[in-house]
Structure 1
Amino acid sequence: MDDYFLKYEDRQPPEPLGYSITREMLWQFLAVIALVVGAWYIWWRWTGSLNPEALWFAIPLVMAETFAYFGMILFVFNLWKDDPIDIQPAPECLADVTENHPEGERQISVDVMFATYDEDPELVRLGIIDAKNMTYPHPIDIRIHILDDGRRPEMREVTESEGANYISRTTNEGFKAGNLRNAMEQTYGDFMVICDADTRPFPTLLVNTLGYFRDPKMAWVQTPQWFYDLPAGDTLDTVWGNRLGPIGAKAATLIQRIAGPIRVGADPFVNDPKMFYDVIQRRRNWVNASFCCGAGSIHRREAVMEAALRSFGSKVQQRTYAAEEVITLTSKEREVAPELMEAIRTEAAATELLTPYRFHVSEDIFTSIVLHADRRRGWKSKMHPIVESKMLSPQDLLTWTVQRYKYAGGSLDILVNDNPIFRPGLTFSQRLMYGTTFYSYLAPLWNMVFLFSPAIYLFTGVSPVSAYSSDFFMHLIPFLVTLELAMMVGTWGISGYAAKASYLSFFPLGMRAIYAVFRGQKISFPVTPKVRQSGNFLRLVRPQLFVIGVTIVAGIWGSAALLIDSMPHSPSGVVANLLWGLNNCFAMAGIIGAAMWVPKEDEGTVEE
């Protein structure tokens, strides 16, 4: 087993962001100002700034800005409101979490499920050991199950040696979703804890989360996924001191006194999910729209099975109606005999599969949508703010790419084929929240415009605006400043630049996912590796390298053009686009560095 992570065993997870009503009100105030100023800017861009002699350039850019502004509106709504942290006391018996249950005085039973395929059995063993150490203040029935889709004798041996239950099947139908369905057919716990092969539950997981289920409508609780193996990097003064000597170290120390601690090489793949869980997901609680992310989630079995039964019944009905329509059209009969209709229903029921988790690459969010849309039952979800488990992060760009493509492709596939915006049962706020998630994966379409626009101007001198005049900057700068201030307060406590840079540099993978989904191609991917793949992966960042190369050449050309009287470039236009292009290059540099990153001690890697 590649045990590089053992040296991080003593790391402790970060505390959740504290709630402050004062900061929330300030954020909302600044967000409204940013939205108003942004609307003013976009209106001016459409009505008073377009270059009529270059509409081929001006229109795509202003459309990209408009799409980005709409995304900003959705993001502001997502971040609008937070709730104070409120941990409910752990329930004592089934009656505390289920209304009118005939076995109300019975102790609660929980199935802890580790889904695995080809991961090292010794890695899974660590999760089993940690799961056995979970505590609870009342009698409780905890059963640990290993769901092995690899059907490996060594995995069975590890499972049985740790006293856990080994579950496998003869096929891999439905992948992880099918694996979970098979396990649910063989287990009976009131609640299920979903774990990946590398998930390491903390002792407090059940103590801190089962209390939410005192609300009988609570369907699932998601806990933050914390990657405890993220590279810490070196302080800026250490790096500069090694390269430039004492003078470099002193200069770096001065910079850090002004800007705060700076670590070089920390989290090269921007894997830290704190922004996602502690801000984006957590602030969906107020409209009951946080969605399940798989590992580290706790589910009420009743909710999952009931949603599956409803979906099953709906699909059987659809099959029956379709068959009835075919028969009436071909036979010219006005109605089908009752005996035949009953046979059709029986056949449809036998053909359709009961799937608690949809067979989909993004089964977690899809199941969330199905449960949230059940208006009759009114199922709820909760994003629990405290880290209750630890996991391993992608340690190379290839693994990172596989994971991100899964997220993008799976989400876009749902958008195209099961669009939640129009799904009956969801509230308007839930539609907006899910829409925000899916809309973000369309961003590469307009981000590409932002990435190449500076080079177009610097090469040609053709401006997308009527002029890079004081009027232009008087509209642009207030928007950028108010937006940055609002986001700084709205995400206070979390560094935002790395996430924004990663979002921009994600464009090739995002475009690939968009192309695949809209072409109707099946989204497929290998299982995310749990060990580091060796080598550098510059081939994966060729588009980002191209952006930097084109921008640099364009910058040289545009700067030289100022010396030629016949060229249409203006000093303000060249400076503005040089700064814009420089920002783009910085954004691309992060992922390029990640492609070449290797740990300090390159141990336990595997060859490609």
Structure 2
Amino acid sequence: MAICALVTLIYLSYRGLYTLNHESVYASIASWMLYSAELWGGMSLFLFFLQVWDTQDPQEQPPLEDVTVDVFVPTYNEDVAILRGTLQACLAMDYPHRTFLLDDGRREEMRQLCEELGVHYIARDNNLHAKAGNLNNALDQTDGEFLAILDADHVPEPHFLSRMIGYFRDPELGIVQSPHAFSNFDTFQGRVNYEKGRFWDEGELFYKVIQPGRTATNSVIFAGSAALFRREALKDVGYIATETITEDMHTGIRMAARGWKSIFVPERLIAGQGATDVTTFHGQRLRWAEGNLSIMAYDNPLTMKGLTLVQRLTYFGSIIHWAGGLPRLALYLTPILMLLTGTSPVKEFTPTLAVVFVTYIGVMMLTLKSIYRGYMNYDLVEFFNMANFWTQIRATVRALVYRKKSKFVVTNKRGGRQGSILPHVLPQIVLLALCQFSLLYGWARHLLFDPQLELLGLGIATFLILHHARYAIAYLRTAMTPSSKRETYRHRLNMPVKYSFTDREGQTVEGMGVSTDMNEEGLGFVAYNSLPVNEYGTVKMIVSGDSLETKGIIRFAAHRQGEGLDGTSLYRYGVEFIDTPPEAIDAASRLVQRFVVAPWYTVFDRHRTHPRANGLFSKREIGRAPFKLPVRLETEGEDIYCSTRDLSTRAMRCLLASEVAEGDTLRAEIFTPLGSVFSLISVTEAREVTGPPHRIMEYVLTFESFEGQGRSCLQSLLELSEEPQIHRDLAVEHAEQRKPMIRPVAAATIAVLALAPVAVGVFQRVHNDDLLLVRSMDNGEMDLSLLEGKNLDRILVETLSSERPDAQRLILLKEALELRGRNDELVRVCRILSTYEPNDPDMGKALVASLTGAGRYEEAADLASRWIAVLDAKGQTDHYRDFESLAARNILRSGDEYGAMDAFRRIVAARPDDQSVRREYAGILLQAGLAEEALRQFSVLPQNEETLRQLVAIYSALGEFSRSEATLRTLLRDNPADIGLQIDLANVMTWQGNFDGAVRIFRELHTTDPSNSKVALAMGEALTWSGDGDEALVLFARLLDRGLDGERLTAGFLDAYLGSTSPSGSDSHRLHWMLQRHHGGTPLNSDLAGRLAMCLVRAEAPHKAIELLEDIVRSNPEDRDTRLRLADALVAAGENERAHHHYRALLAGAQGRR
């Protein structure tokens, strides 16, 4: 524990000093919310260690003699049947005492019960201060030196008093507390696996781990029942505290403050009723939590007089445990908020943080596992954390705000829900809905806006959300499971049942079966013949040393037919007891305590100390069938009835409360669905299951011989194991109640759908600009219709004006600015991003590239050099190479073509296997006109498709069109449907003068896809060059009419017009439209304007052509081509003098250049 405490302190210190996120106000709030929850957890852990530091059990003491003891059983509205069992058990305790029933319900039936049993009855005329007032009223009317307090459903063991009274030899001892345990194992607060012998109850951590450790500090918590007091100690503190609704805890603190000692006895001495359903569970927990927290207002253990330091801290730790709902909620909300906002509660997920956190969690889990001594179950602890968090929050608020309005609520002891479950499941439904919604929201935001976001934080948040959602679903499934229709719990008990029923024809049906479960109101059993339903009869449960007999009516029946015409028939019946005599009710209580509660707790405890123990009894024989069959053993005295636990043709195993000696030989009758089997058996093995006072033994009875066909009958019975349904009934297996899966998920989904419209609206409003940026970029191209320049300017200004711009928005802006070529703003964005991640090479690369794009070459070179030096020192070769390439590209963009070639040459020499760099180098060489050197670089690359495509460009640059054509045909063999390759082939054929072949290829492509403008444009050019200007002109006109534009299309149309034999009037109109665009703000370059002028001359509009050409000459007098065209146009218009002026200027210019 010391090591764990030290590791926890180191972890919390590291978290507080180095990992809190203060990037923004919200980040600080989120970070401190999580850190506060962790601090709470650390404080709770320290206080827990303080409570369990010394868990040595007190030595058992012999009982005191000649002292008086009063036993108080307070009641308000519990049923007579429940109280009868408790009072009978109190009367049966082996130490002299008086039993008092304290009836706050003032019921006549309770008075009559006390008279019948010989119990003292105390009632009062009001219910002031509820249970505490009831106890104080009894204290004023009694005088026992010691008093025990037992809840109405807490059935004590016979040695309850004698086990605890001896500790009071210490005159300073004020209270001895024993643990609470439950006879109904399968409840909301507990989990049981009968087959594996495992049981876990939420309270076991408290009673088996925490309470034993508090003996050493005299701070044992009075748990409201199962405790023995010294009257003098209670009198010293004014009897039971009445200020709060948890009078037990409050009274215990006051006794400790007055110096009275306390001891916890770890032995189970009572068995009560656990919370059966979600409503009862939360009603009880709300009262406990609210009451404990309210104590702080009256007797704060940190400040009240009389407590030692350790007592102050241990009591404080027990009280604030109930305020853990808010820290738990913070843990649940942290990953949800992380996905919804994109803000991490930690500054950075670093390897150091991971190591510290994993060490902290690992050491803590190992320490807790050691402390809990087999009582730790992580899944169930998390389950009840999920179940309790909202109830604890409610209790905290009520204790702080509505304390004076608190009311004591008696825990429901009957089955069935107490009101609607909605208040108890709604918080978990909302939490589950938030989990679902945050996953959808967070991942959608990530996929849309944060493709470059580090996935570690997103993955951690997703894992935690799924982890919490798992327990929310598990809780909702349990809470939404339909409650039992029975008012009282049915205990699993397999004992012989003798029955007798009369059918409607007056025929009596008698037989022997084996019980499946029972309580004081009814019985379930398996029989081997048909019984009349809704008919009255008698049932008698017979066990060694006890029996239960009463009238009943069969309310339920189920028939199981074996395979074949002569298949074995089994019947399951449910009997409701009618006019149950008091003796039968008492017998039911005794049987439960002796044959259910005591044996099963022995098995559960054995499983914790010997985890490999499987089930109630070990399986020693291969082939034993776990059939439960009634057995009658003939002895010299009375016959002994029991049931088998399992059996084979060699032996059977049974539980007996009557002792038989090993080696004895007895005659046995086994009742089976195939008839009775008689045999002689010998007792070959005996093992104690429970010791005194119940004394249950397990015996192995070996078959020595069989009467008649007994062995064959038994063998046939064992063969029924092959029939699953018959096997289940013979083994008296219980069908597990199915927990709903669809309802919890559906409830959360409906909640999500209800929130969906609001959520979508919020998402669009919050991320409107982000969505605009995303939609404006389609496959890397900017859609200007969606994102006008003014919108981009607005988003940029708003983002950069923030104190700390959002990283996701900056990344989207970076991409948008890159596509629009706005390099200066891009530099600003990249600088900010690099400050967020100053050690991230990727951010450095983006900044270098943006500086290059903005023409700030010296800054780019300097930054790249610094990164290269840092990465070289760290040995990060991948990023190092990227910065080398960026530096070389920066040189190229600066205009130093030869410097760039030299830089790339050195990179290629250092990384000869880096194909991407070699390709880039070859491209620069080709751009510089060094096609031969580019070809040499490509010759050493793998001759794959990418390389061959680039070789086509190199061969074309070298004028080696035949090699280009051959390479293209090679590529087309592997990619015959590649339109781009076919277009390239047609172009190469055109350059070689093979116009017919080129046109043929283009025509096939155009026929296949007439809408492909790229094919139509190339085909028109080929037609023009081949001399077919008329068809080319038609193609270009169609493209213009479709709204397409561009210099290449304009040039193609004009060339086709000049080459056409008979252009149409529509074509002439298109010329005038081009002229209007030229004058209207979309000017053509001088070459295209000259071609347009020549077309206008041909279209008999020489004056417009002359005006156009004169405008160009005036703006650029040195443009000889345009001046020559102007002179020709003047001649065509008959203005020879003006034409001669321009001819002379051209001749003078030519002579001057000589």
TM-score by length of 1: 0.75
Which of residues 222, 225, 231 in structure 2 aligns to 1:292? 222
Structure 1 residue matching 2:94: 3-state secondary structure: coil
Contact 1:148 1:155 in 2 (8 A): yes
Instruction: State yes or no: 1:559 paired with 2:443.
Output: yes
2:212 touches 2:264 (CA, 8 Å); kept in 1? yes
Note if 1:593 corresponds to 2:477. Answer: yes
**Structure 1 position 389, deviation (Å):** 0.9
1:133 counterpart residue number: 92
Kept in 2: contact 1:175–1:359 (CA 8 A): no
Deviation at 1:272, TM superposition (A): 4.2
Match of 2:394 in 1: 512
Within the alignment, does 1:403 sit opposite 2:362 as a pair? no
1:28-66 residue CA offsets vs partner (Å, 9 max, x unmatched): xxx222222222221121111122212121122212211
Residue in 1 that maps onto 2:936:
none
Aligned to 2:51: 78
Once the two structures are TM-superposed, the CA of residue 520 in structure 1 deviates from its matched residue by 4.1
Distance 1:506 1:567, change over 3 A: farther
Which residue number corresponds to residue 20 of structure 2?
Answer: 50
Q: Residues of 2 paired with 1:227 and 1:598: CA distance?
A: 21
Q: Which of 260, 279, 283 is the matching residue for 1:379?
A: 260
Whether the aligned pair in 1 keeps the contact of 2:290 and 2:395 (CA below 8 Å) is yes
- Structure 2 equivalent of residue 468 of structure 1: 349
Shift of 1:153: 0.5
> For 2:371, which of 490, 503, 518 is the aligned residue?
490
Whole-angstrom CA distance in 2 between matches of 1:569 and 1:282: 51
Corresponding position: 1:111 with 2:70: yes
Q: Is the 8 A contact 2:287 2:409 kept in 1?
A: no
Question: Are residues 1:157 and 2:115 paired?
Answer: no
1:68 aligns with 2:41: yes
- Amino acid paired to 2:228: I
How far residue 559 of structure 1 moved from its aligned partner, in angstroms, is 3.4
Residue 142 (structure 2) pairs with residue 187 (structure 1): yes
Selected match of 2:8 from 31, 35, 38: 38
Contact 2:78 2:413 in 1 (8 A): yes
Corresponding position: 1:307 with 2:265: no
Looking at structure 1, the residues matched to 67 and 452 of structure 2 have their Cα atoms a distance apart, in angstroms, of 75
- 1:179 maps to a residue whose letter is N
Check if 1:148 corresponds to 2:31. no
Q: Secondary structure at the match of 2:262?
A: strand
User: Deviation at 1:539?
Assistant: 3.8
Deviation at 1:597, TM superposition (A): 2.8
Asked if 1:218 is matched to 2:99, the reply is: no
Match of 1:205 in 2: 160
d(CA) in 2 for partners of 1:536 and 1:478? 44
Q: CA deviation at 1:90?
A: 1.0
CA distance in structure 2 between the aligned counterparts of 1:557 and 1:466, rounded to whole angstroms: 22
Partner in structure 2 of residue 88 of structure 1: 61
1:362 corresponds to: 246
Does structure 2 retain, via aligned residues, the 8 Å contact 1:536–1:597? no
Match of 1:544 in 2: 428
Q: Does 1:582 align with 2:481?
A: no
| TM-superposed deviation, 1:286 | 0.8
Q: Helix, strand or coil for the counterpart of 2:373?
A: coil
Q: Secondary structure at the match of 1:422?
A: coil
Q: Which amino acid aligns with 1:508?
A: W
- Structure 2 CA distance for aligned equivalents of residues 379 and 575 of structure 1: 54
Offset at residue 204 of structure 1 (A): 0.9
More off after superposition, 390-399 vs 578-587: 578-587
Mapped to 1, the partners of 2:301 and 2:82 lie a distance apart of: 37
Q: CA deviation at 1:213?
A: 0.4
Aligned residue for 2:447, secondary structure, equals: coil
Cα RMSD (Å)? 2.2
RCO higher in 1 or 2 (8 Å CA, sep ≥ 6)?
1
What are the ranges of 5 or more consecutive residues in structure 2 without an aligned counterpart?
490-1154
Q: Is the 8 A contact 1:293 1:365 kept in 2?
A: yes
Is the CA contact 2:415–2:485 (under 8 Å) kept in the aligned structure 1?
Answer: no
1:551–1:441 Cα change, 3 Å: same
Aligned to 1:25: none
* SS at structure 2 position matched to 1:495: coil
Give, as a single letter, the amino acid of the residue that structure 1 aligns with 2:411. Answer: T
Deviation for aligned residue 1:148: 0.4
Distance change (3 Å), C-alpha of 1:356 and 1:51: closer
TM-score, structure 2 normalization: 0.40
Answer whether contact 2:328 2:385 (CA < 8 A) is retained: no
Distance 2:28 2:128 in 1: 51
Residue in structure 1 matching 2:416, options 516, 524, 533: 533
Match of 2:358 in 1: 477
Change (3 A) 1:520 1:299: same
1:592 deviates by: 1.8
- Map 1:218-237; keep pairs closer than 5 Å: 218-231=173-186
Contact 2:78 2:152 in 1 (8 A): yes
Trace 1:237-256 onto structure 2 (pairs within 5 A): none
Cα distance in structure 1, aligned partners of 2:251 and 2:423: 36
Superposed displacement of residue 502, structure 1? 1.1
Q: Deviations over 1:244-268 (max 9, x none)?
A: xxxxxxxxxxxxxxxxx597xx77x
Matched AA of 1:132: L
Shift of 1:123: 1.2
Question: More deviation in 462-471 or 206-215?
Answer: 462-471
| C-alpha distance in 1 between matches for 2:488 and 2:185 | 16
8 Å CA contact 1:462, 1:568 repeated in 2: no
Larger Rg: 2
Distance 2:147 2:5 in 1: 42
Equivalents in 1 of 2:202, 2:236: separation in Å? Answer: 35
1:85 Cα deviation after fit: 4.4
Pick the aligned partner of 1:428 from 309, 312, 318: 309
Using the alignment, how far apart are the partners of 1:391 and 1:172 within structure 2? 24
- Which AA in structure 2 matches 1:556? L
Change in Cα spacing, 1:235 to 1:70, as seen in structure 2 (3 Å) is closer
Distance 1:57 1:273 in 2: 33
Q: Cα–Cα, structure 1 residues 262 and 504, in superposed 2: closer, same or farther, change >3 Å?
A: farther
Q: Does the 8 Å CA contact 1:88/1:208 hold for their aligned counterparts?
A: yes
Q: How many residue pairs end up in the alignment?
A: 480
Find the counterpart in structure 2 of residue 121 from structure 1: 80
Question: How far is the alpha carbon of 1:506 from its aligned partner?
Answer: 1.4
Q: Which residue of 2 aligns with 1:6?
A: none
Alpha-carbon separation, structure 1, partners of 2:401 and 2:142? 39
2:150 match: secondary structure? strand
Change (3 A) 1:277 1:234: closer
Taking the aligned partners of 2:254 and 2:444, their CA distance within structure 1 comes to: 58
The CA deviation at 1:472 is: 2.4
The Cα offsets for residues 157-197 of structure 1, whole Å up to 9 and x where unpaired, read as 11110011110011111111111111111111111110111
1:127 alignment partner AA: T
Contact 1:536 1:596 (C-alpha < 8 Å) held by counterparts: no
SS in 2 for 1:221: strand
1:424 CA drift (Å): 0.5
Question: Percent of aligned pairs with the same residue?
Answer: 30
How far the C-alpha of 1:122 sits from its partner, in A, is 2.1
CA distance in 2, matches of 1:431, 1:465: 34
Alpha-carbon distance, 1:501 to partner: 3.2
Offset, 1:496: 3.1
Shift of 1:393: 0.9
Distance, in Å, in 2 between the alignment partners of 1:605 and 1:161 is: 23
Asked if the contact 1:227/1:272 (under 8 Å) is kept, the reply is no
Contact 2:240 2:247 in 1 (8 A): no
